[in-house]
Amino acid sequence: MTLDGKITTRSFSPVDFTSREDKKHLLRQRSLGDAVLIGRSTLTHDNVRLGLPDPKMRAEREARGQTPWPLRVIVSNEGRIDPALNIFQTDFSKIVIFSTTRMPRKYQVALREKATLRLSVSEHVDLTRMLQQLQSEYGVRRVACEGGAELFRGLLELQLIDQLNLTIAPYIFGGKGAPTLTGSGTRFLPASVRCSLEEMVVRGEECFVTYRLRYR
Ligand SMILES: NC(=O)c1ccc[n+]([C@@H]2O[C@H](COP(=O)([O-])OP(=O)(O)OC[C@H]3O[C@@H](n4cnc5c(N)ncnc54)[C@H](OP(=O)(O)O)[C@@H]3O)[C@@H](O)[C@H]2O)c1
């Protein structure tokens, strides 16, 4: 995020304001997860594959008893996920989509060829249940969530995040159109979340911080 807490621009462009070191840092965090989790909007805007290009990271995963690539998990209430996105053109690891029966039939048909659909008969995805299912049915113990803001906020409100890795980049965007870490809405969180600093590393002009979240 920028010094004023923005995670993207007001046009939701993919993040290009952090260093190569930060991109590597992201991949390292991703490589630790049994699953990597992403919201539909970030997937659409960034068009990421959620892979691990570095063979060393994949070898380290295997040495830890993990699959070479993390399970890829997409969350969407409406389910209008474009099957032409880059992620669906790769099959290095399984893709699971947690959505609802609001997903239009034509999307269901197209996406079933590329991913496992977990559709609940409700308006919204139940994130707590999703994590339970990931654990019990896919053996997932650690999830690396890559955002975006709306998904992060949803998890935070349910007290489902235990660690926050943040890179503070040397920019100030200003304005209120660009979302912050928890989005661009005006609603407060149900309660403020106390975070304890676990690690802080400065590389170049960026600051890499790791916080542990403590819910009261
Ligand atoms: N700086 C960074 O490190 C960073 C990291 C991640 C993202 N970003 C940026 O953030 C922007 C996207 O932010 P965003 O807040 O719009 O993204 P988001 O959380 O990725 O996506 C929001 C969408 O994801 C689905 N979703 C989110 N929470 C859900 C929940 N609890 N249950 C079910 N579905 C849920 C919904 O999809 P449906 O609409 O399909 O129902 C929702 O509209 C992008 O520009 C991206 O580049 C920046």
Whole-number pLDDT of residue 24: 97
User: Is the residue at 83 inside a domain?
Assistant: yes
Whole-number pLDDT of residue 216: 72
76 Cα to the center of ligand 1, angstroms: 9
User: Is the residue at 106 inside a domain?
Assistant: yes
Name the domain count of the chain.
Answer: 1
Tell which atom from ligand 1 comes closest to the C-alpha of 127.
Answer: 31
User: Is the residue at 211 inside a domain?
Assistant: no
pLDDT by 10s per residue, the chain, length 216: 999 999 999 999 888 899 999 999 999 999 999 999 999 999 999 999 999 999 999 999 999 999 999 999 999 999 999 999 999 999 999 999 999 999 999 999 999 999 999 999 999 999 999 999 999 999 999 999 999 999 999 999 999 999 999 999 999 999 889 999 999 988 999 999 999 999 999 999 999 999 999 987
Whole-number pLDDT of residue 13: 87
User: Is the residue at 108 inside a domain?
Assistant: yes
Whole-number pLDDT of residue 136: 98
Whole-number pLDDT of residue 185: 86
Whole-number pLDDT of residue 176: 87
180 Cα to the center of ligand 1, angstroms: 12
Token representation of residue 76: 């969407």
CB 51 within 8 A of CB 31: no
CB 190 within 8 A of CB 157: yes
As to burial, measured by CB atoms within 10 angstroms (0-12 exposed, 13-18 middle, 19+ buried), residue 108 is middle
User: Is the residue at 88 inside a domain?
Assistant: yes
Whole-number pLDDT of residue 43: 98
User: Is the residue at 5 inside a domain?
Assistant: no
Q: Which domain holds residue 56?
A: 20-159
Greatest Cα pair distance in the chain: 49
Nearest to 11 by CA among 47, 45, 49: 45
Residue ranges around ligand 1 (CB below 6 Å): 1, 7-8, 12, 14-15, 39-42, 45-46, 75-78, 80, 124-125, 127, 146-151, 154, 179, 183
pLDDT per position as a tens digit, 71-102: 999 999 999 999 999 999 999 999 999 999 99
Report the nearest-CA residue for atom 28 of ligand 1.
151
User: Which CATH number goes with the domain that contains 147?
Assistant: 3.40.430.10
146 Cα to the center of ligand 1, angstroms: 9
User: Is the residue at 82 inside a domain?
Assistant: yes
pTM: 0.97
User: Is the residue at 136 inside a domain?
Assistant: yes
59 Cα to the center of ligand 1, angstroms: 30
